[in-house]
Amino acid sequence: MLADPFMTEETAAWAKAMGVKNVTKDYHDILASPEIDAVLICSSTNTHAPISMEAIEAGKHVFCEKPVDLEPANIRKVMDALEKHPELKYQVGFNRRFDHNFEAVRKAVTDGRVGDVQIIRVTSRDPEPPASAYVKVSGGIFLDMTIHDFDMVRYLAGCDAVEVYAEAGVLIDPAIGEAGDVDTAAVTLKMANGAIAVIDNSRKAVYGYDQRAEVFGSKGMAANGNDAPSSAVVTTAEGVTGEKPLYFFLERYMDAYAKEIGSFVHAIETDAEAEPGIEDGLQAVLMGLAAKKSLREHRPVKITEIAEDN
Amino acid sequence: MLADPFMTEETAAWAKAMGVKNVTKDYHDILASPEIDAVLICSSTNTHAPISMEAIEAGKHVFCEKPVDLEPANIRKVMDALEKHPELKYQVGFNRRFDHNFEAVRKAVTDGRVGDVQIIRVTSRDPEPPASAYVKVSGGIFLDMTIHDFDMVRYLAGCDAVEVYAEAGVLIDPAIGEAGDVDTAAVTLKMANGAIAVIDNSRKAVYGYDQRAEVFGSKGMAANGNDAPSSAVVTTAEGVTGEKPLYFFLERYMDAYAKEIGSFVHAIETDAEAEPGIEDGLQAVLMGLAAKKSLREHRPVKITEIAEDN
Amino acid sequence: MLADPFMTEETAAWAKAMGVKNVTKDYHDILASPEIDAVLICSSTNTHAPISMEAIEAGKHVFCEKPVDLEPANIRKVMDALEKHPELKYQVGFNRRFDHNFEAVRKAVTDGRVGDVQIIRVTSRDPEPPASAYVKVSGGIFLDMTIHDFDMVRYLAGCDAVEVYAEAGVLIDPAIGEAGDVDTAAVTLKMANGAIAVIDNSRKAVYGYDQRAEVFGSKGMAANGNDAPSSAVVTTAEGVTGEKPLYFFLERYMDAYAKEIGSFVHAIETDAEAEPGIEDGLQAVLMGLAAKKSLREHRPVKITEIAEDN
Amino acid sequence: MLADPFMTEETAAWAKAMGVKNVTKDYHDILASPEIDAVLICSSTNTHAPISMEAIEAGKHVFCEKPVDLEPANIRKVMDALEKHPELKYQVGFNRRFDHNFEAVRKAVTDGRVGDVQIIRVTSRDPEPPASAYVKVSGGIFLDMTIHDFDMVRYLAGCDAVEVYAEAGVLIDPAIGEAGDVDTAAVTLKMANGAIAVIDNSRKAVYGYDQRAEVFGSKGMAANGNDAPSSAVVTTAEGVTGEKPLYFFLERYMDAYAKEIGSFVHAIETDAEAEPGIEDGLQAVLMGLAAKKSLREHRPVKITEIAEDN
């Protein structure tokens, strides 16, 4: 069943074509249905936590888009609800963990081929900046965009961050600055295992979506590149030219989205841990809030400062 | 509807699960159904031509797996049948034309970035040799395996071959030699536009399916690599190691198969030319027979020699 | 003429074999020789500035190894000496500016292919940590190792740094920590043009010398890889393996050292600007001192804070 | 000492600048000098064999440019002369064996990483065709250009060729055809160990010198790419562009030439085998003559046919 408070005939028709039997404007219809075991929450951010709690209380497994909430306190309420329902799975939508490239980098780490992790670099650049209207309600680049990279850093490091320092500026579009945000950033993180991570972000890479990670350690380095439409290379008097990266997240992460949902279903069916879970959702938000505070106060900020305040 | 002379309950159940409404042991049921506009012929090679003709006479569009027939005379009969039904589409299953990598190389040629085509190289190596029982009925490596490469050479050159020279040997598995075939081959072709093409084949590449092409011309060169499970690269004291190519055709050409059928449907819906068509199917078989004759007679063989004899 | 206060017979013999006519223990012999136009100062760091001044006063062009001095005040004295001798060239030994890879990245910037520079990433990792005895007198990682990267960032950005933030730790060798230094670091810089630069350093990359830069801007990105002994790639059932990077700076920068000296000679012969010059030498030291202070005080440090204090 | 029958003042001055003490118009001066142990024969092809024999009789080690002679009978005369002087080294100028890339491919073969060699591919393309005046006296593409590739195939296969088939055409410059030669070719070789080799040649690759080899075997594949001026890659809205290959043989093989002479000197000093030797010189010429005959007679030609006739 598909619930959308703004359900239109067009959406309803599309849903049917995709094999969804019922549609509704009220998600409570889904929660009330005894036939439904699990829900996917893809609504606007401020509704994630309340709907999550209702769904948990209704006995549904939950897949929730990131961020769970911009307020750690609200995420903790979802955690409390989950504690009362240990039989339920709760997965957060950090889709990049299911990207074949990042998975392979992570596997090199968990296989021990990288050794002790010492340096992590994550590059994450969008092909186009969002509209400034969106920027205003987005929570800022760190909670809207970098949050994926914060989760990636934890995924690759295998531990939490302890401190964050953010450097940023408005280099692409003054309208983003006027909306109170930045469009270019570098975030340095100190991790619990001593590793240092550096994320760089841009809201506009003219060559397309740039999503790379590199993990360096005592035994070696694992890194991934972007995906391109093909492996074809044309060599002429001008140079050796391959295709630029796939345009944006829908192209790059199409397969990752499918695997993500498959993983959620698998966790339910086999009673396995749903990953990434609510704790991952919380940590990424703490890191984002620390980055915001760091930029505002122009100093490194400890995760504990945020956790205690919130 | 799915017809299989050896239809089992298991196959029937699988077909239902895939959304196929009806199953039958007799393909005439499909040909007789007025609801069905188009058929896919994926049976054994010796039945391709006869079923094609029956289907055409029944007014069905036809997608036929390669090779259409091992005898050019039988392919010509299908061509004759098609001439009487100009409203019908006939597409031959050279799936590699729909691979994103080969398509991009071809596009560099048709866009003019390569200039006049002068040299074509096609590497095509399987991860494992077929069972020798299969080898015996396969028509030999040139009609079974290289036939795809013959079509690729024509696709990339934009013209027919005029002469073929085959060099080959049994270097992998003596059982293949005992079955009357070879397992390693290099075929040189002279094309109608003067270009020279070289295909190399192996029945066993321990690193997986190796499918590459390179087109060299007066303005440059276009070439493609293989697809791998990921772009991850691990750098250690031993070297810089990326993943090996995808294992075999199902992995490499999964998307190409989907695009191939989509292209067939699109040709029917828009009354466009179905490509590759029956002429492509014929030419590839002529090239394969010329290669066989070349190896047997240890000399270059003109396509016209084959066409006239058959 | 070659001067070495510890000149031995062995060194003298080696010098003769290399075509050096005279050797001495006293560099004043060189300064006193009217036949000599230019000197290369490759002595220990604390002697760079005093010998530079003597050489300038003796009317010699000077090529001086980096860093010119660990104290900005001493570098300024050399600058003062140079002001009185505008006819003399003074080049500082930032050899990486002459590496073919970094030169090509820089050219992409100056050609306008990158557009406005927004993000710079420099990776610089040594294959092995220095002896802790050396670490103690080295001035610390930022003045000993990162100083090259500071210059690289300025070279690629085309402007000075305005602020520095350093994160670092001892992750490789506790002896380095005991010697009062760190072995793993990430330095974030704010540049005068608004660009953000990130340098990551490690004293031990098991796969060899890792020297890469990436410049991202409004029109694109330019990046370089490492050099390897060959382009050979071996593909087996284990993967696709290329050679690891050249071992260390002598291998990677052999050609750069030759070009560096050639450039110095060329500047003298054609009365062109010797680059990188004394101002480049000063700025890199200011950046290094700012990084040290940043690490010590755990906060971002402005270059002006250092410049004013020194 | 440098001998040049056309010695000019300019050449003499250049030689002096390069450290050559004496110059002469008559190479007999070199052969007569008791101080000289070894000679390099870099004169026109038709003088290689006669001077080689004179030099051997004068007790000199000989490094001779390829081809030793266009007539196998003349090469055999040099071999006879050498048999009488087992103390002398004779090395033939197949410089590509000393290229770092081909050496690494060969090493993968001799190390056993490729396993039994089954397929060899060599691509060898020049950036520009020679003047047609040169073409007329060059002996044709197979003895002038492909001869290097014939040696490369033997070097990589570790054995001799037994049969040659050549396909070729005039696709670049009609003047080359009028001079009686071809400018585009593909040569297929059957090797003594059963392996199949394919060489493709073009006299004009607009993107520069293209020199690659690939060896495929029972355990894997080793392949090399070209060398480029730098590893820099520029990514823009148009694609991901690296530098094209180095322009021609002087750029690509500069280091190989130095290693080649070093190897000759080392063989003399240590009384080691000089490689490649006179047998290598003979085999490459036999292969070239077989290719010529194959093209003329339009059939595969056995090496023994050539060896017996010559």
Reduced 3-state DSSP string for B272-289 = CCCCCCHHHHHHHHHHHH
- The answer, for D236 touching chain A at a CB cutoff of 8 Å, is yes
C-alpha distances out from residue A74 to A60, A278, A307, B51, C231, Å: 19, 11, 12, 66, 54
C-alpha distances out from residue A139 to A42, A129, A146, B71, Å: 17, 15, 11, 69
CB contact under 8 A, B234 and A219: no
Query: What's the token pair of residue A168?
Result: 């940023």
Q: How far apart are CA B271 and CA B37, in angstroms?
A: 13
Q: How many CB pairs under 8 A join C and D?
A: 84
Query: What's the token pair of residue D302?
Result: 């056995």
- The mean per-residue pLDDT over the stretch B2-15 comes to 94
The predicted model scores a pTM of 0.96
CB contact under 8 A, B216 and D195: no
Q: Which residue from D184, D166, D120 is spatially nearest to B117, judged by alpha carbons?
A: D184
Nearest CB to D207; choose among A206, A237, A244? A237
- The answer, for A59 touching chain C at a CB cutoff of 8 Å, is no
- The answer, for D241 touching chain A at a CB cutoff of 8 Å, is yes
Which tens digit of pLDDT belongs to each residue from D129-172? 999 889 998 899 999 999 999 999 999 999 999 999 999 999 99
Output the tens digit of pLDDT for each of chain D's 310 residues.
999 999 999 999 999 999 899 999 999 999 999 999 999 999 999 999 999 999 999 999 999 999 999 999 999 999 999 999 999 999 999 999 999 999 999 999 999 999 999 999 999 999 999 998 899 988 999 999 999 999 999 999 999 999 999 999 999 999 999 999 999 999 999 999 999 999 999 999 999 999 999 999 999 999 999 999 999 999 999 999 999 999 999 999 999 999 999 999 999 999 999 999 999 999 999 999 999 999 999 999 999 999 777 6
Residue C137 has pLDDT above 90, yes or no: no
Helix, strand, coil % in chain B, rounded to nearest 5: 40, 25, 35
Query: What's the token pair of residue D157?
Result: 């296969």
Residue entry with tokens 């001044």? C53
| pLDDT at residue number A32 | 96
Nearest CB to A167; choose among C190, C210, C219? C190
Question: Which of A146, A162, A193, A196 would you mutate first to test chain C, the one with the most C CBs within 10 A?
Answer: A196
| pLDDT at residue number C102 | 98
CB contact under 8 A, C231 and D226: yes
How many helices (H) does chain D have, and how many strands (E)? 12, 14
The residue in chain D having the minimum alpha-carbon distance to the alpha carbon of residue C98 is D230
Rg of chain A over Cα atoms, rounded to whole angstroms, equals: 20
Q: Which residue from D275, D255, D286 is spatially nearest to D93, judged by alpha carbons?
A: D275
The ipTM of this complex is: 0.96
Residue B308 has pLDDT above 80, yes or no: no
Q: How far apart are CA C153 and CA A186, in angstroms?
A: 15
- The answer, for D232 touching chain A at a CB cutoff of 8 Å, is no
Q: Please, which residues have CB within 8 angstroms of residue A90's CB and are 6 or more apart in sequence?
A: A52, A56, A61, A62, A63, A64, A78, A82, A274, A277, A278
pLDDT tier for residue C215 given thresholds of 50, 70 and 90 = very high
CB contact under 8 A, B241 and C240: yes
**Touching subunits for chain A (3+ Cβ pairs under 8 A):** B, C, D
Which tens digit of pLDDT belongs to each residue from B48-102? 999 999 999 999 999 999 999 999 999 999 999 999 999 999 999 999 999 999 9
Nearest CB to C219; choose among D107, D113, D236? D236
Q: Which residues of C touch B206 (CB under 8 A)?
A: 236-237
Q: Residues 103 to 132 of B: which have CB under 8 A from any A CB?
A: 103-105, 107-108, 113-114
| pLDDT at residue number B138 | 87
Residue C220 main-chain phi, psi, to 5 deg: 165, -165
Rg of chain C over Cα atoms, rounded to whole angstroms, equals: 20
Nearest CB to A236; choose among B113, B223, B225? B113
Residue A18 main-chain phi, psi, to 5 deg: -90, 5
Q: Which residues of B touch C241 (CB under 8 A)?
A: 238-242
Residue A247 has pLDDT above 90, yes or no: yes
Longest dimension (CA), chain D: 67
Residue B137 has pLDDT above 90, yes or no: no
Are B220 and B113 spatial neighbours (Cβ–Cβ below 8 Å)? yes
Query: What's the token pair of residue C185?
Result: 């670091």
- The mean per-residue pLDDT over the stretch A189-213 comes to 98
Q: How far apart are CA A25 and CA A27, in angstroms?
A: 7
CB contact under 8 A, C219 and A206: yes
Residue entry with tokens 């297929």? D188
Are D188 and D198 spatial neighbours (Cβ–Cβ below 8 Å)? yes
CB contact under 8 A, A196 and C168: yes
Are C194 and A186 spatial neighbours (Cβ–Cβ below 8 Å)? no
Q: What percent of chain C has pLDDT over 70?
A: 99
Distance from CA of C158 to the nearest CA of B (A): 32
Q: How far apart are CA D169 and CA B297, in angstroms?
A: 24
Nearest CB to B300; choose among D116, D195, D298? D298
Are B296 and B167 spatial neighbours (Cβ–Cβ below 8 Å)? no
End-to-end CA distance of chain D: 35
pLDDT tier for residue A14 given thresholds of 50, 70 and 90 = very high
CB contact under 8 A, A169 and C206: no
- Top-confidence residue, C147 or C133: C147
Q: Which residues of B touch D168 (CB under 8 A)?
A: 196
Distance from CA of C245 to the nearest CA of D (A): 12
| pLDDT at residue number A138 | 87
Residue B33 main-chain phi, psi, to 5 deg: -80, 120
Distance from CA of C253 to the nearest CA of A (A): 22
- The mean per-residue pLDDT over the stretch A251-269 comes to 96
- The mean per-residue pLDDT over the stretch B140-156 comes to 97
pLDDT tier for residue C90 given thresholds of 50, 70 and 90 = very high
pLDDT tier for residue B239 given thresholds of 50, 70 and 90 = very high
